[in-house]
Structure 1
Amino acid sequence: MLDTGIYITILVIALNVYLQAIATQAAPLKPKSVIPKDFSPQVTPKVPTEPTKLPHPDRLLPPLKTPTSPSPSFPLNNNLELIIVKKFEVTGSSVFSDRELDAITTPYLDQPLSIVELLQIRTKITELYIDRGYITSGAYLPEQDLQKGIVKIQIVEGGLAEIKINGLTRLNEDYIKSRLVIATGKPLNRNRLLEALQLLQVNPLIENISANLSPSLQSGFNDLEVKVTEAPTFSLPITLDNSRTPSVGSERRQIQLNESNLTGIGDRLSLSYSNTNGSNAFDVSYTIPFNPYNGIIGMSFGTSVSNVIEPPFNILDITSNSRNYELTLRQPILQNTAQDLALGLSLSHRQSSASLLNGLIPFPSIETDTDGQTRVTALRFFQEYVQRSAEEVFAVRSQINLGLKALGSTINLTAPDSQFVSWRGQMQYVRLFAPETLLLLRTDLQLSDRPLLSQEQISFGGQDNLRGYRQDALLSDNGLLLSMEMRIPLLRLPEIIGLLQIIAFYDFGTVWNHQAETNPDPSTLASVGVGLRFQVSDRLTIRIDLGIPLSRIFAEKKTLQENGIYFSILTNPF
């Protein structure tokens, strides 16, 4: 148990810090805003800035040069006398109903027909298959006795005998085959096969893919030969920006190592280290596909150590430590070139602690236990939907968070603690008006059923969502963000694949707590601004923004970020 004199010393220091804050005309920071928010609920992956352009279907899968539907075995003798057809017996179809086939044959009943006309009926049935994409299926007239007025038409539905994959170096052949097999069941449909090839074409592991169908030695079947060029899977992005809270140093340096095909099965490993003048963070994640429908299991771990270096609070030697563990299952249930719908479930456990005087005293807060620690265990059920075309991308993400009493989570007599329910909904829309001329719209909404721990609250302010204000200027249980951004090209440099864009934006954010007396003041902020973005292929991206606050907020302006100036430099040497 600490001596009473130590507590008195701490109170004196805290009072001195408060008086210094008033003397420098800086609004006193609340404990929540002093300690950096190291971890926040997962947000929507960024929507592509331009819709993906797919190659022409005939380049992915050229049309068959010669039909592979069966030839008639019935002897072609045009001199045979006409016959009166009383009934058509069409067998072998698993695709079309009797009603659909009768629509072709019924008009020819009870009238004299020649052999040529019978073959025309067979051809119409074959064309029905081909028009629906079943290019290797067809009908024929087997040997039969026509004198009874009954005509038998046999349908042969074609399939694939073999899939041959060429061009792979590191990627496992089964990764490609399994995604084609689910689209090439019998009867073979060109449209389904083409869609599977298009999905593989936009797969980040594949640079280019094309396929050819050819007749197989096995009657009624075809062989599929696929040529694949793998995309580079290793990247080492290096980032410099001022996206962190000034309390731990706003300038951030980050290096990230990504390998998207670690063992050849499409598994991804990501390692990241970032630091500021007052913080260090390390993150690692690993995802592995578990079925050909692009279902994945992901595991991640993150840890960070932060020290408050912002005067006058730096004399208190405030230190915080955070750890985050997460296990995620994500499964697309609808996936094609125009839209994706996926469901996912994450189990996360986050623990953090804060202290004064280099760990001597736990940081005082109603959220923590007596040791200054907070633990949150939660189930997070999310739904993601993306719709895309040549001119636009629309993405929506919904996430329901359910706090659990498990794994030693923080349970207090009154909220906030680890037992909560919250919902977060996010939307992004990208519209391409002309080459490199983009409109980006974004919304972010969080609602909760009770007061939340700070690491579960929604935060606005800073480079990512409310420019013109410092990072995490608003932190609350509930919040709404609206953002609009326009990018217009100023200069193109084809020799280096360079592009310079001017940016105009408007941001609006408002927050509210369950207890009105604890609402931030002000609780609503807005800003406008301009920026420049320069990109050289995918190797270098430089961006600088100037945010102009439209709401008055009382705070010092010691850093570029607090003056509404944001910069980021991203380079990818590999």
Structure 2
Amino acid sequence: MKQTPRLFFHFAFLISICASADPLAAQTVPLPSPIVPRPQPLPTPQPPTPAPLPPPSELLQPTPPTPSSPQEELPSNVPGTFTVERFEFEGNTAFSDEQLAEVTKQFTGRALTFAELLQARSAVTDLYVRNGYITSGAFIPPQTLTGGVIRIQVVEGRVEEIQVTGTGRLNRNYVRSRIALGSKTPLNVNRLLEALQLLQLNPLIANLSAELSAGSRPGLSVIAVRVTPADTFDAQITLDNGRSPSVGSFRRGIQLTEANLLGQGDSISVSYTNTDGSNEVDLSYTFPVNARNGTLRFSYGFTKSHIIEPPFDAVDIEASSVDYDLTFRQPIIQSPTQELALGLSAVRRESETSLLNTPFPLSPGASDDGRTRISALRFFQEWTQRGSRQVFAARSQFSVGLGLFDATTNNDPPDSRFLAWRGQAQYLQLLGSETREPNSSPLLLLRADVQLADRSLLALEQFGLGGFESVRGYRQDALLTDNGALASAEVRFPIYRLRSVEGVLQVIPFVDLGRAWNSSGKQNPDPSTLASVGLGVQWQQSDRLRARVDYGIPLINVESGDRTLQERGLYFFLQYNFF
């Protein structure tokens, strides 16, 4: 009972702030946004500067010639020349009888010598070899000639054994199973080389080489693979001012990652970030479930926030959120230059807010005790295309909110029932002459991000516009709406290189543009469009250190304070990897 007058006083104080403020400000910033911590943007793939793969000769050592075939003998009664009406083929699976008949048709319907008959056999072998089946071949077995029909036996190459050495803690079956995908019968050297290239791109492997040798019988081969494992532990610290000023924009973070925890190619990551008004812990574990790089991932996140921005710090606003995410991701198409992956996530998100240590709803759709609970399924598709000088990455995600497991349901939106789509794309292109080194070439980076929702959304699912990695020149999440679109372009010009530490200094002009709007007839923010231009400077030192400073100039005025560097259009980012 003693708390009631104090609580009433704080409510009155809060109302007086909003009532006395400028009308526009009262509409756009009635309370610090976001009250409930929102998720970070969907993980758009960050394409690295394209790096060429090792030449095939470094991955796959010289291969043996086509295996010797059994001794070819024809009956002693074969005349010097004879007429072949057609050939019959046995043992062929890579090519149909019709395809083999096509390459041997020049040897049918006319008189042949024995040497020409051997040429017909060689034509079949050459077809296999030209198409990468270098351990396959054909021969003419002993037979009785009847009706002008000659039988040609095909021996398609098979792998007798895959020998793997040097993997360290990494299970040899992890490597062996992926090579087996590229060495199915009949053995094709092009498929094998592609499997080796994919392994070379695997972050668990620093280097590898393979040798193909003859097996115990004709048509059998042995693949010997030597692996140099990569360092799998990493510790990373980050400093930036990318958090909302409501909870303190200056963010500190540390992340620990082990990419091969149990030796199965499974990874675990733990991170902690904080600001003056927030603490966040994230944990994720990923386990490979098949040789085609399908993975099952579980992640957990917890955030505790306290509003420290005046004048709202006087009313003791607190918020907390918990996220659970179980995701299955499966590449459908995978090669050294492209990947198409599909995935499904089951998501649970819970949050609660309080005022003066008393549960209280501070965002639309929350229950009377300030709680929101979301159960959702997300179906996503990811596409990556890599070239020698460009990378294109795109991600599409459909989210279906469900009213299950005690999720928030209201008579009117927003609640846990919704349908939303989010699409992201990123394009990176090296500019200038192809003869220049990548670190000496200007780099064009284009980004796009769109969200569309069928109804009003809870704050946890809304689209934030403005600030760090969005429209620079504005405070973080200056606009928070159900729908939104963002486009950004920048060019990174290298102006200085320090080869001794693999360092490069870049000057980066950029332009950002975004628009936000609501669903379900809810009023749109005014203004609803943000635009800015600016200049950044970045120092990149190998894979260890990245430091960047951006200054954005807003082109459309939005009422905001200037208490922090972020609100003045200045952003900084520092990342250091210890290993």
> TM-score, structure 1 length as denominator?
0.95
> Does structure 2 conserve the Cα–Cα contact (< 8 Å) formed by 1:205 and 1:266?
yes
Partner of 2:543: 538
Aligned-partner Cα distance in 1 for 2:83–2:20: 107
8 Å CA contact retained: 1:35, 1:308: no
- Deviation track 1:267-326 (CA, whole Å, cap 9, x = no partner) reads 110000000011000010001010101110000101011111011111111110111111
Q: Aligned letter for 2:500? A: E
Correspondence for 1:465:
470
Counterpart for residue 392 of structure 1 = 390
SS at match of 2:228: strand
State the Cα deviation string for residues 456-480 of structure 1 (Å, max 9, x = none). Answer: 1111111111111000011101111
After TM superposition, the structure 1 stretch with the greater mean CA deviation from structure 2, 197-206 or 86-95, is 86-95
Which residue identity does 1:474 align to in structure 2?
L
| SS state at 2:254 partner | strand
Of residues 504, 509, 518 in structure 1, which corresponds to 2:523?
A: 518
Contact 1:426 1:445 in 2 (8 A): yes
Matched AA of 2:232: T
Q: How big is each residue's C-alpha offset from its partner over 1:418-477, in whole Å with a ceiling of 9 and x where there is no partner? A: 111111111111111242321111111111111111111111111111111000011101
Q: What residue is the counterpart of 2:403 in the other structure? A: 405
CA drift of 1:161 comes to: 0.4
Could you say what secondary structure the match of 1:518 adopts? coil
Per the alignment, in what secondary structure is the counterpart of residue 49 of structure 1?
coil
CA distance in 2, matches of 1:116, 1:426: 63
Task: Give the aligned residue type for 2:337.
Answer: A
Q: 2-side partners of 1:45 and 1:524: how far apart?
A: 23
State the partner residue of 1:497: 502
1:37-436 mapped onto 2 (5 Å cutoff)? 37-40=36-39, 43-70=42-69, 72-74=71-73, 81-146=80-145, 149-357=148-356, 359-434=357-432, 435-436=438-439
Take 2:34 and 2:44, find their aligned partners in 1: how far apart are those partners? 26
Q: In the alignment, is the contact (CA less than 8 A) between 1:27 and 1:555 conserved in 2? A: no
1:506 Cα deviation from its structure 2 partner:
0.6
Does the CA contact (< 8 Å) of 1:82 and 1:113 recur in 2?
yes
Distance 1:457 1:147, change over 3 A: closer
- Counterpart in the other structure of 2:435: none
Q: Aligned partners of 2:211, 2:344: CA distance in 1, in Å?
A: 39
* 1:195–1:158 distance in 2 versus 1, CA, 3 Å: same
SS at match of 1:258: strand
2:442 corresponds to 1:474:
no
Distance 1:72 1:390, change over 3 A: farther
**AA of the residue aligned to 1:13:** F
Q: Which deviates more from structure 2 when the two are superposed, residues 36-45 or residues 559-568? A: 36-45
Tell me, yes or no, if the aligned pair for 1:74 and 1:141 is still in contact at 8 Å. Answer: yes
Partner of 1:12: 12
- Give aligned pairs, total: 571
State whether residues 333 and 341 of structure 2, in contact with CA within 8 Å, keep that contact through their aligned partners in structure 1.
Answer: yes
Deviation at 1:49, TM superposition (A): 3.2
Q: Distance in 2 between matches of 1:208 and 1:4?
A: 68
- Please tell me whether the aligned partners of residues 438 and 486 of structure 1 are also in contact (alpha carbons under 8 angstroms): yes
Higher deviation after alignment, 54-63 or 92-101: 54-63
In structure 1, how many angstroms separate the alpha carbons of the residues matched to 2:378 and 2:522? 29
Q: CA deviation at 1:6?
A: 4.7
Corresponding position of 2:574: 569
Deviation at 1:335, TM superposition (A): 0.7
Q: Is there any run of 5+ residues in structure 1 with no aligned partner, and where?
A: none
Q: CA deviation at 1:517?
A: 5.5
Indicate the SS of the match to 1:12: helix
Question: Kindly, what percent of the aligned residue pairs are identical?
Answer: 47
Whole-Å separation in 2 of the counterparts to 1:352 and 1:458:
17
Aligned-residue Cα RMSD (Å) equals: 2.1
Post-superposition shift, 1:58? Answer: 1.9
Distance 1:227 1:382 in 2: 36
Cα deviation, residue 20, structure 1: 7.6
**Inter-partner Cα distance in structure 2 for 1:460 and 1:76:** 84
CA contact (8 A) 2:36 2:321 kept: no
